[in-house]
């Protein structure tokens, strides 16, 4: 009742009046935040932009993103708002999204070299309700590397978005969480499931942490303290090698729960660490044990569990949900056929789908990619074009479409020209 008239006035106001209006809104919403311990996000769409209020977080003050005042380049935790991002904001479904991991009904798994902010930008045109995860970022990379390059994201459109961290040093992980805190991720997740030799071998983290419950408990305790109210969750396997009994999994869950973890994403396979398996082999050879996850749901009703591993269709997701899991996480199938998942919002959340055609998605992504490459000279063609590689899987002309992306990308042609040429190989009925 207070905000809407002010926003209508702001639309007509000059620069000085806008500054006063935004200052008043910040004070007003900060005061509201201090009076409620609950998380709440509210979007005000249309030409007035998008307002996202989060209550109960010490550093999460209200912010108003408006077409009148674009975020300056380099702003912490956010990518400068481009015309492509604005277009996506204006088409956003208006809804309340709570940063509560118990609502993680459908999520897209963290995948190295894939779930970067460019792929997440594409995904937000396909689904507004799916929980998105970053690639795993190591604590040391955040402490010693380019923080903004590792942590910045499209704040106005990506939520709910989860930062996944990797590491085995309690002090480093705690420090990394503190550095990441101002970026306002909805949730921070600890990787206890990656079986890669680089991670679980030399790095001694990822799935290797399941062999040392007490160390992992210390990691989680330090992260929770530094997170200052931002939920901390864990993604793990059901065990490793010979440590694969249900009883050992329960001991791991209980140990982390004693540190304050209440939400677990369980890849329902063991991680084979002693046989030099590749990550691909570890995704395919160990048998799936969904029954372990189903038992966890029954035995630990105070905690929530998301099932991961082997799920490829809506029907499989719907069947999994009948066993009481809080949600389902899908990984490689998203990469293989992203367009297939365009019905997630309607089918799993009873919300309207974004409703964009693939032509509209590529037009928006083309504008976005052009601006990203302009702002970041180090950004390669392969990185910016990878998210749209499989957008037309199974359609006529897809081979020439992908060949065009590859060949023109190798020649470093302007990215908008590449996409315009590539899409010419796709039939209108598949684009619209």
Q: Could you list the active site residues?
A: 194
Bridging pattern class, strands 63-65 and 50-52:
antiparallel
311 token code pair: 């799920």
Residue identified by tokens 């009481």 is: 324
- In terms of phi and psi (left: phi > 0; alpha: psi -120 to 50; beta: otherwise), the region of 75 is beta
DSSP 8-state secondary structure symbol assigned to residue 198: I
Q: How far is CA 266 from CA 19, 217, 290, in A?
A: 47, 17, 9
> Does the bond joining 160 to the residue before it have cis omega, within 30 degrees of 0?
yes
Neighbours of 84 (CB within 10 A): 21
Q: CA dihedral defined by 312, 314, 315, 318, rounded to 10 degrees?
A: 110
CA-based torsion, 218, 224, 227, 228: positive or negative: negative
**Spatial CA neighbour of 103 closest among 51, 156, 163, 40:** 40
Q: Would you say 96 and 128 are in contact if contact means Cβ atoms under 8 Å apart? A: no
Q: Would you say 84 and 364 are in contact if contact means Cβ atoms under 8 Å apart? A: yes
119 token code pair: 């792929």
How many alpha carbons fall within 13 Å on the CB side of residue 132?
27
């Amino acid at each position: 009742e207070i905000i809407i008239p002010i926003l209508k006035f702001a639309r007509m106001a000059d620069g000085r009046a806008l500054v006063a209006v935004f200052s008043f809104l910040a004070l007003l919403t900060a005061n509201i935040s201090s009076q409620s311990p609950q998380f709440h996000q509210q979007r005000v769409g249309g030409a007035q932009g998008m307002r996202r209020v989060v209550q109960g977080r010490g550093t999460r003050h209200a912010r108003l993103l408006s077409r009148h005042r674009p975020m300056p380049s380099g702003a912490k935790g956010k990518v400068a708002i481009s015309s492509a991002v604005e277009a996506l904001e204006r088409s956003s479904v208006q809804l309340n999204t709570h940063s509560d991991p118990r609502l993680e009904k459908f999520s897209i798994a963290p995948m190295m070299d894939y779930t970067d902010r460019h792929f997440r930008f594409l995904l937000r045109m396909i689904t507004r309700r799916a929980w998105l995860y970053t690639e795993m970022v190591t604590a040391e990379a955040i402490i010693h590397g380019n923080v903004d390059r590792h942590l910045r994201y499209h704040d106005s459109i990506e939520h709910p978005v989860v930062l996944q961290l990797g590491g085995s040093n309690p002090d480093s992980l705690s420090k990394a969480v503190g550095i990441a805190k101002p970026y306002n991720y909805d949730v921070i997740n600890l990787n206890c499931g990656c079986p890669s030799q680089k991670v679980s071998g030399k790095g001694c983290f990822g799935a290797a942490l399941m062999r040392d419950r007490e160390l992992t408990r210390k990691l989680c305790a330090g992260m929770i303290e530094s997170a200052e109210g931002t939920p901390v969750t864990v993604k793990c396997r059901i065990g490793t090698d010979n440590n694969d009994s249900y009883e050992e999994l329960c001991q791991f869950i209980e140990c982390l729960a004693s540190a304050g973890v209440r939400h677990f994403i369980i890849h329902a396979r063991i991680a084979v660490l002693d046989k030099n398996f590749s990550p691909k082999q570890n995704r395919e050879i160990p048998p799936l044990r969904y029954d372990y996850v189903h038992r966890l749901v029954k035995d630990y009703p105070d905690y929530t569990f998301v099932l991961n591993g082997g799920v490829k269709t809506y029907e499989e997701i719907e069947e999994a949900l009948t066993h009481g899991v809080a949600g389902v996480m899908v990984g490689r199938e998203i990469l293989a056929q992203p367009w297939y998942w365009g019905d997630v919002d309607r089918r799993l959340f009873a919300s309207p789908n974004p409703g964009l055609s693939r032509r509209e998605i590529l037009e928006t992504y083309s504008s976005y990619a052009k601006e990203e490459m302009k702002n970041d000279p180090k950004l390669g063609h392969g990185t910016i074009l990878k998210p749209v590689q499989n957008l037309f899987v199974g359609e006529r002309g897809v081979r020439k479409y992908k060949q065009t992306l590859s060949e023109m990308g190798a020649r470093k042609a302007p990215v908008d020209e590449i996409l315009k040429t590539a899409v010419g190989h796709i039939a209108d009925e598949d684009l619209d």
